[in-house]
Amino acid sequence: MRLKAILTLKCPRCLRGNVYRSFFKMNKSCPHCGVVYEREQGYFMTAVFVGYVMGFVIAVLAGLGLYLTVKPDAIGYLLGASGVVFLSIPLVFHYARVVWMHIDELLDPRKPEELEAARRNREET
Ligand SMILES: [Zn+2]
């Protein structure tokens, strides 16, 4: 269920509300349960690290794919893997934040006062 929510970019708390309003716009809070996504200032800095890890995994998979198919020289690997990583930037950007929020929710679930704020937030909108 949570994996499906991550893949479809849903809220880490209710697993239903969309995290993104449009391709470039992220919702400040969940449209379904009202929970605020940015729990504190700088909250998404850790998502940058998640993005690095995702980029590294994509680069390794691209290198492996090149090895199994065309077997290029060193420059070919560098350009091929770099190209794949470059093309995956929008995907990584979206998923890094969502993956980070889900990891954070699993390790440090929102406290009752945060959920109360979410409930008030939902009533206002
Ligand atoms: Zn939600």
Local confidence pLDDT in tens for the 125 residues of the chain: 899 999 999 999 999 999 999 988 999 999 999 999 999 999 999 999 999 999 999 999 999 999 999 888 889 889 999 999 999 999 999 999 999 999 999 999 988 887 787 778 777 76
Q: For residue 75, report the distance from its CA to the centre of ligand 1, in Å.
A: 45
What is the sign of the dihedral through the CA atoms of 57, 62, 65 and 67? negative
Domain membership of residue 124 (yes or no) is no
H/E run at residue 63: helix 45-68
Which residue(s) pair with 26 in the sheet?
A: 20
Structural domain count of the chain = 1
Query: What's the CA angle centered on 18, arms 97 and 4, to 5 degrees?
Result: 75
Q: How remote is the CA of residue 115 from the centroid of ligand 1, in Å?
A: 10
What is the domain extent for residue 48?
2-112
Q: How far is the CA of 26 from the centre of ligand 1 (A)?
A: 13
Does the predicted model carry a pTM greater than 0.85? no
Tell me how far the alpha carbon of residue 33 lies from the centroid of ligand 1, in angstroms.
4
